[in-house]
Amino acid sequence: MSFDWPTALPLIFAGLMGLAILIYVILDGFDLGIGILFAAAEDAEQDTMIAAIGPFWDANETWLVLAVGLLLVAFPMAHGTILTALYLPVFVLLVGLILRGVAFDFRAKVPAGKKRRWNRIFFLGSTIASLAQGYMLGVYVLGLDVGFGGMAFGALVALCLSAAYAAMGSAWLIYKTEGDLQRKAVRWLRTALVLTALGMVAVSLATPFASPRIFDRWFLWPEILYLSPLPILSALLFFWLWRQTFHLPKPDDRHAIRPFLTLAAIFTLGFAGLAWSFYPYVVPDKLTIWQAASAPESLAVILVGTAVVLPIIIFYSFFAYRVFSGKATDLTYD
């Protein structure tokens, strides 16, 4: 029995695109979150926070480029449909990413008196990018509804995703810093967790009611039994992490990475729920993976290129995080 490549190739690329999006949300989520937390940090703390993300933030955004690139070349019809509906928020997202990128470099090169201005721009760019991503997620969940209801839900998800990024940033600071800033990061995490949980509950409740098809995938028997571990595990992890925030930091800084890994697991469970809800559609209830996919011959060529590029990205990411492991040191530019 021969392997059915025309059926398998779109599935492979949908999986690769989903993986790239998930990794981006987890990794770039923490440095976007640290940018948001600039609003609550003092000047000296902001330097340490920049040092905690400095070696990683450019590489983290590579996963967004990969995800959008795969959407463009592997699912061009979906790319056109999604960008047509989300043109303005995508533009706002790019403005936010440009602002934070420029501010990241300029804050280190301007006279000391103007540094605070670029710190505000770094906060502004990070916040704009996070809100734009959350808004796009909310509109996408409701089937690219750009009416009042879709916009209102997008605004809610925008706020909650920004809080989730702030939680990721706080968890990363718990791992990468020490002293007063680390203790302050624990308090930030405790606050952000509330809105993060609210956001996941809102998306989880809205998604099944976005269409009868998604409702049936979640609430018919025996699907409801098979899928019940996703919300149950997410709730348990949230509760466990909330309890842990009252015991952090631990003596000798033990298990400082656990809050970040726990949030990464929660994000993964939430992403798995969304993937199950929308499969086999890449544009909800409009285009399936196979309808939106490029020709099998094109996908085969793209797969060869992806097989070369993806291991390089993975290797570099592991290498960078390995080399720059440990606590963030004082920021210098000599």
Pull the structure tokens for residue 45: 């703390």
Q: Is the pLDDT of residue 332 over 70?
A: no
pLDDT tens, 31-84? 999 999 998 888 888 989 999 998 888 888 889 989 999 999 999 999 889 888
User: How far is it, in rounded angstroms, from Cα 107 to Cα 127?
Assistant: 17
Structural domain boundaries in the chain:
5-323
Q: Is the pLDDT of residue 116 over 60?
A: yes
pLDDT for the residue 141: 83
pLDDT for the residue 247: 83
Nearest in space to 90 (alpha carbons), one of 35, 28, 154, 30: 154
Query: What's the mean pLDDT in 286-304?
Result: 91
The string over 42-57, giving b where at least 16 C-beta atoms fall within 10 Å of a residue's C-beta and e elsewhere, is eeebbbbbbbbbeebb
Beta strand residue intervals within the chain, DSSP E: 281-283, 287-288
Nearest in space to 196 (alpha carbons), one of 266, 292, 113: 266
Q: Which of 73-77, 103-107, 268-272 has the lowest mean pLDDT?
A: 103-107
pLDDT > 70: what percent of the chain?
97
pLDDT for the residue 265: 95
User: How far is it, in rounded angstroms, from Cα 284 to Cα 82?
Assistant: 10
User: How far is it, in rounded angstroms, from Cα 245 to Cα 264?
Assistant: 16
The 8-class DSSP code of residue 102 comes to H
Nearest in space to 56 (alpha carbons), one of 74, 31, 73: 31
Burial class (CB in 10 A: 0-12, 13-18, 19+), 169: buried
| Total-model pTM | 0.92
Q: Is the pLDDT of residue 1 over 50?
A: no
